[in-house]
Amino acid sequence: MQDLPPNPLLAHLPDPSELSETERDYLDMIAAAPLLTLGARRDLLRDGETLRTCHVIVQGWACRYKTLEDGRRQITAFVLPGDLCDLYPPLLAEMDHSLATITAIRYIELPRDRVEQLVVAPAIGRALWRDMLVTMAIQREWTVSIGQRDALERLAHMLCELFFRLRAAGLVRDDRCEFPLTQTDLAEATGMTPVHVNRMVQELRSRGLIYWKGRVLEMLDLPGLCRAGLFNPTYLHQSADPRLA
């Protein structure tokens, strides 16, 4: 797993320079909490479970998902390093979906009272609201993909989104990133079968847009992949991030 900056909470904020000294000290205190670990392909939170803490992933990948009674699973979001998994313990009594690891993860647990204090702190509160709005924008794009984009567009759009998010987190080097998803994961996120995902991956490869082998994804032609997926990154609201220049 790749490392993040020492304080993942600060790295997660759009502009840490906006923080007051008190807010920065408070975040440093929270980020100094013990790191917990969980292995790959394990549930961190289950549908219906009572919410008591908020989790911040420091390293590794996770996903949100819903399961039907017959066992079919739909992945509704990918959670990347630095992401807040569940900011709503003070507001909601229980989980309405499950959260599972994709890789082994290291994470921090924040008690309910600390979450409440984070939300009301002016600069931190604005950043968290912004993060929630971006999360909602991502969900809207997933809905558009499921409803309107064809299979190739859907997969290309998903790969672009994940790449842009990883790049914003500082987890891309020379257009390459760690990519631990399986074709089954992508199928469960895009509403396709694994066989159909495989066909679309081969098509993207044949067009010279991506290289994907094992756990490494390389963008050979990112503008071309964006065109193939009808991808416009404005909904991620990353324009202020100098790492995207």
pLDDT of residue 1: 45
pLDDT of residue 176: 97
Asked if residue 218 lies in contact with residue 210, where contact means CB atoms within 8 angstroms, the answer is yes
CA-to-CA distance for 172 and 166, rounded, in angstroms? 6
Note the pLDDT tens digit of each residue in 42-59.
999 999 998 888 888 888
Sequence-distant (≥ 6) Cβ neighbours of residue 184 within 8 angstroms: 194, 197
pLDDT of residue 239: 61
pLDDT of residue 11: 60
Banded pLDDT at 240 (limits 50, 70, 90): very low
More confident residue, 40 or 82: 40
pLDDT of residue 190: 98
Total-model pTM: 0.89
- DSSP-based three-state secondary structure for 212: strand
CA-to-CA distance for 135 and 119, rounded, in angstroms? 16
Share above pLDDT 90 across residues of the chain, in percent, rounded to a whole number: 58
How many CA within 13 A on the CB side of residue 11? Answer: 23
pLDDT of residue 88: 64
Size of the chain in residues: 245
Does 197 have pLDDT greater than 90?
Answer: yes
Other beta carbons within 10 angstroms of residue 165's beta carbon come to 22
pLDDT of residue 242: 35
Does 119 have pLDDT greater than 50?
Answer: yes
Q: How far is CA 62 from CA 57, 65, 96, 105, 158, in A?
A: 8, 10, 16, 8, 15
- How confident is the model over 119-147, as a mean pLDDT? 88
pLDDT of residue 12: 58
Banded pLDDT at 69 (limits 50, 70, 90): very high
